[in-house]
Amino acid sequence: MSEVNSSAVLARRMADLGPLCVGIDPHPALLDSWGLPASAAGLERFGEICIAELDGVAAALKPQVAFFESYGAAGIAALETVITSAREAGHYVITDAKRGDIGSTMAGYADAYLRPGAPLESDAITLSPYLGFGALEPAIDLALEHGKALYILALTSNPEGASVQHARSTDGQSVAGAIVASAEAVNADVMARDGSDVGPIGLVVGATVGSAPRDLGLDLADFNGIFLAPGVGAQGAGGAECHDVFGAAKMLASVSRGVLGAGPGNLADAARRFVAEIAPA
């Protein structure tokens, strides 16, 4: 197991800068409004602007892989440049790839994003557990080996997620509840071994989910990792929703369009407004 604990690094950044992650989501409309071309060069410039303006403001940056993949090989090369430049500039990078597959293929995804020296090496990635939490084991193992973190989808910010994630098995446990329990067990094991006070497995819980955790019998304050909370800004959640859903839990709010929409030159101020809104009371 690695000496480095990526979640502890992030927790320190959250304490210093506030609990905000800004998404690097180069939507075509944003490229246009920023005066950038819809090309790999445009994606790279978009990323460079985020990296420069959010330095010392955002605890983490979250490149959204989808907006790079849509440009093919050149887009992936731009993603590589953005991830690498962001990490070199000292940012904590959570690559939002939402990978999840059978174990043997999962090992390939893990190698792509979590292996030190890999072209797309990130500090953390998002994963989907819907082929079974156990299928994520190769990624969990590699993350633990190299001090990386994972953010696993539990209660997503989109309303459609409830049809899967709120479903209950015959013993009454919800799908989301089973994912929370599995993540907690991995974290507890790691924390018992390394004495850290935050585990490497985080969970994605949208700030838009309202009373769902309570309705499903989940006390988020008990979770021993960090919650990544999308849904703030463009999807309608704000500070009140973050406090209501997460209370005293460790929560990193994720905002993409809400900050990016402010445009170049204004990203830091927009991000600071979100930090002020979501900071724990």
Exactly one of 44, 96, 123, 277 binds ligand LLZGTKA7 (CB under 6 A); which one?
A: 96
The span of 80-88, 227-235, 239-247, 264-272 binding ligand LLZGTKA7 (CB under 6 A) equals 227-235
Binding marks (x or -) toward ligand LLZGTKA7, 55..94, rule CB under 6 A? ---------x------------------------------
Smallest gap from residue 264 Cβ to ligand LLZGTKA7 (A) = 17
Q: What is the smallest separation between the CB atom of 258 and ligand LLZGTKA7, expressed in angstroms?
A: 6
Give the torsion sign (CA, 213, 233, 236, 243). Answer: positive
Q: Which of 23, 87, 10 is nearest to 50 (CA)?
A: 23
Local structure of 65: helix, strand or coil: helix
Q: Is 44 one of the binding residues for ligand LLZGTKA7 (CB under 6 A)?
A: no
Alpha carbon distance 209, 116 (integer Å): 35
Nearer CB in complex with ligand LLZGTKA7: 66/107: 66
Question: Is 3:237 a contact under the CB 8 Å cutoff?
Answer: no
Answer yes or no whether residue 129 interacts with ligand LLZGTKA7 by CB under 6 A.
Answer: no
Helix (H, G, I), strand (E, B) or coil at 264: coil
Sort residue 172 into left (φ over 0), alpha (ψ -120 to 50) or beta.
left
Indicate which residue of 62, 98, 148, 250 is catalytic: 98
Question: Which C-beta is closer to ligand LLZGTKA7: that of 115 or that of 238?
Answer: 238
Name the one range near ligand LLZGTKA7 by CB under 6 A: 28-36, 46-54, 102-110, 156-164: 156-164
Q: Which of residues 257, 262, 279, 280 is near ligand LLZGTKA7 by CB under 6 A?
A: 257
- Of the chain, the end-to-end C-alpha distance in Å amounts to 36
- The DSSP call for residue 252 is E
Residue 62 is among the residues annotated as catalytic for this protein: no
SS (H, E, C) 101-154: CCHHHHHHHHHHHHCCCCCCCCCEEEECCCCCHHHHHHHHHHHHHHCCEEEEEE
Q: What are the residues binding ligand LLZGTKA7 (CB under 6 A)?
A: 23, 25, 64, 96, 156-158, 204, 206, 230-231, 233-235, 254-258
- Catalytically annotated residues: 98
